[in-house]
Amino acid sequence: MFDTSRKFTGTGYTGTIAFLVFGFIVSPAVLAFSRPVGYMSISLAAACSGMCAVVAYVNWKRFSQLSIPSIVTQTVTGE
């Protein structure tokens, strides 16, 4: 019934979602609540958000490829 030699057929988007949430929700929220004093903290938060977006994109490209084996009609020989 279950073939253990086949690969996992799902996708892994949990890490991608986590990076996007951290980059576009948590990082700006921390910046807003910390009341930045200058351009240094704003540029640091923007760099952190950008880095999270890049890592999320790489993670999405890596895990969005489904590994579902193709279904091929097998020909029966000897009939």
d(CA 69, CA 51): 34
Residue, of 67 and 27, whose pLDDT is higher: 27
Q: Is residue 69 part of a domain?
A: no
- Whether residue 21 is predicted with pLDDT greater than 70 in this model: the reply is yes
Within a domain: residue 4? no
Burial of 9-45, coded b for 16+ CB within 10 Å and e otherwise, reads eeeeeeebeebbebbeeebeeebeeeeeeeeeeeeeb
How many folded domains does the chain comprise? 1
State residue 63's pLDDT score. Answer: 74
Range of the domain at 31: 14-63
Residue 46 lies in a domain: yes
Give the pTM. Answer: 0.64
User: With contact defined as beta carbons under 8 Å apart, do 13 and 63 qualify?
Assistant: yes
Residue 52 scores a pLDDT above 80: yes
Whether pLDDT at 22 is above 90: yes
In this prediction, residue 76 carries a pLDDT of 60
Range with the lowest mean pLDDT among 30-34, 35-39, 41-45?
Answer: 35-39
The answer to whether position 28 is within a domain reads: yes
Do the domain assignments include residue 7? no
Q: Is residue 59 part of a domain?
A: yes
